[in-house]
Amino acid sequence: MSHVLLVALGGAIGASFRHLAGLGALRLLGSAFPWGTIFVNVFGSLVMGVFIAWLVKRGGSNEFRLFFATGVLGGFTTFSAFSLDVANMIERGAMMPAFGYVVASVVISVLALFIGLWFGRAFL
C-alpha cells in the first residue's frame, strides 16, 4: 500500500507541474497549437532518460523509482492529453498540424529519452 501512496504523491506533484507548464505555454504562445503538452512530453522523456540512467548507474531504491519515475514523471507527461489534442485538431479540420504534432511528439520524445539515457550514462 505504501507504494501506491508514493506513486499517488508523485503523480500529484507531476500533474501539478504539468498544469502549470500548460498554463505558461498557453499564456506565452496562445492556443493555436498544444505547445504545453508537447513540451511536457518531450521534456519529461528527456528527464526520464537521465533519471533511469542515473538509477541504473548509481543504484536507487524501488520506492524512489516509483515516486519519481512512475509518480512525478508519469503525472507530468501525458499521452491522454496528447490524444485529446490530436482529436480536437482533427475535428477542427487541421489535419496537417495534427499529423505534424503526432510525428513530432512521438519521434522527438523518443529521441529525447535516448539523449537523456546517453547523458545520464556519460556524465552521471
Mean pLDDT per 10-residue segment, the chain (124 residues): 95 97 96 94 94 92 94 91 93 97 96 97 94
CA distance 19 to 101: 19
User: Quick one: pLDDT at residue 91?
Assistant: 96
Q: What SS3 class is residue 124?
A: coil
CA distance 17 to 36: 11
pTM of the model: 0.84
DSSP code at position 92: T
User: Quick one: pLDDT at residue 60?
Assistant: 86
User: Quick one: pLDDT at residue 26?
Assistant: 96
Q: What is the DSSP string of 24-82?
A: HHHHHH-SSS-HHHHHHHHHHHHHHHHHHHHHHHH---HHHHIIIIIIIIHHH--HHHH
Number of domains in the chain: 1
User: What's the domain range around 108?
Assistant: 2-123
